[in-house]
């Protein structure tokens, strides 16, 4: 497993990060989740991503249990704050000082850890002054409860403002966590160049488009049993936008490219993300340990430039590139 620096910092993370969104505490049973964590560790993954909102805290608890007893210095653990958690009262959401300070304590209790390596703003809070948010993050870092901060799905302008505040406060904003894959490239025009300028790098979620880029979904056929498209706990709704016949037909045409470089379609998708500029890592999830075993085959894989161009040609207008999507899909107000 290869390591890469995260942002303009000295922190190294594995280029594949194990994440437990939509799985631990919801889509898969606890024993299977623990087996997936062990499989990730056995594959050489030492970087793990979670969030307080995942299964309303249960995902953090399971991750903490799976990592219990391991040398903390040998792990890189990331979590996030913003979405409604706990009792979901009026202050159990957002990036106010109150929610951030209570949020980090809750996450550390569930993870059973003294600190996280990166504490991330899960979305931008339009109802809290950025100065308040960044001052709270600075206090979290200065208290030793987090080492660095990051953001998820922030626009280029929001990242620029956040980095400026962070520098003034003596802390490091080093990462951005956007959705990024062969089919969803909205960060390329604005977010990636801005981050490269500012010393921020990407930890990309959904590198296989929530399973669509594995090729297991076929045009005109029902989704396979047990797949995310059949998960009524949230997976089916998140994958819906990808499950169009024109998209999955084009995905099937990627098979010869994958064969040429000796990769599965899933490995090709992950390797594609890792090969793009300003990317430190791709987050892989799993509902079964063998999925991790397959995906780690992408680490260190190289796709020649002519095949990168061929991928663009095959996918054509199925690719979403509009940079305004980052802004359009962001919460305009805090969710209730």
**Catalytic residue ranges:** 54
CA 137 to chain centre: 20
H or E stretch covering 158: helix 156-169
Q: Smallest Cα–Cα separation from 293: which of 2, 43, 24?
A: 43
The residue assigned the tokens 């942002």 is 7
Beta strand pairing status for 16-19 and 47-49? Answer: parallel
Do 18 and 48 touch, CB atoms closer than 8 A? yes
Question: Degrees (nearest 5) of the Cα angle 92, 210, 24?
Answer: 50
Count of beta carbons in the 10 Å neighbourhood of residue 220: 7
Instruction: Look at residues 96, 120, 112 and name the one whose alpha carbon lies nearest to residue 7.
Output: 120
Chain mean position to CA 47: 12
Burial classification of residue 21, based on how many CB atoms lie within 10 Å of its CB (0-12 exposed, 13-18 middle, 19 or more buried): buried
């Amino acid at each position: 497993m290869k390591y890469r620096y995260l942002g303009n910092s000295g922190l190294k993370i594995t280029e594949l990060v194990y994440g437990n969104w939509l799985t631990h505490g919801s889509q898969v049973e606890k024993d299977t989740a623990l087996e997936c964590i062990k499989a990730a560790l056995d594959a050489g993954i030492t970087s793990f991503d979670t969030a307080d909102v995942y299964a309303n805290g249960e995902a953090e608890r399971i991750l903490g249990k799976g990592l219990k007893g391991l040398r903390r210095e040998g792990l890189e653990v990331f979590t996030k704050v913003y979405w409604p958690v706990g009792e979901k009262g009026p202050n159990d959401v957002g990036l106010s000082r109150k929610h951030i300070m209570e949020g980090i304590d809750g996450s550390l209790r569930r993870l059973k850890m003294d600190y996280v390596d990166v504490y991330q703003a899960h979305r931008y809070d339009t109802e809290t002054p950025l100065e308040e948010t960044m001052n709270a993050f600075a206090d979290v870092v200065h208290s030793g409860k987090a080492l660095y901060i990051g953001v998820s799905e922030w626009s280029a302008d929001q990242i620029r403002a956040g980095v400026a505040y962070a520098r003034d406060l003596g802390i490091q904003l080093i990462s951005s966590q956007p959705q990024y894959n062969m089919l969803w490239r909205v960060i390329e025009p604005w977010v990636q160049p801005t981050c490269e300028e500012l010393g921020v790098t990407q930890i990309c979620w959904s590198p296989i488009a929530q399973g669509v880029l594995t090729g297991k979904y076929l045009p005109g056929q029902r989704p396979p049993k047990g797949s995310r498209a059949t998960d009524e706990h949230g997976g089916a709704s998140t994958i819906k936008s990808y499950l169009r016949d024109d998209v999955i037909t084009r995905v099937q045409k990627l098979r010869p490219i994958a064969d040429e470089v000796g990769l599965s379609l899933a490995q090709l998708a992950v390797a594609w993300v890792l090969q793009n500029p300003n990317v430190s890592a791709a987050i892989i999830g799993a509902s079964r340990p063998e999925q991790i075993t397959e995906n780690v085959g992408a680490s260190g894989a190289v796709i020649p430039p002519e095949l990168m161009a061929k991928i663009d040609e095959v996918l054509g207008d199925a690719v979403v590139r509009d940079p305004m999507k980052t802004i359009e899909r962001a919460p305009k107000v805090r969710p209730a």
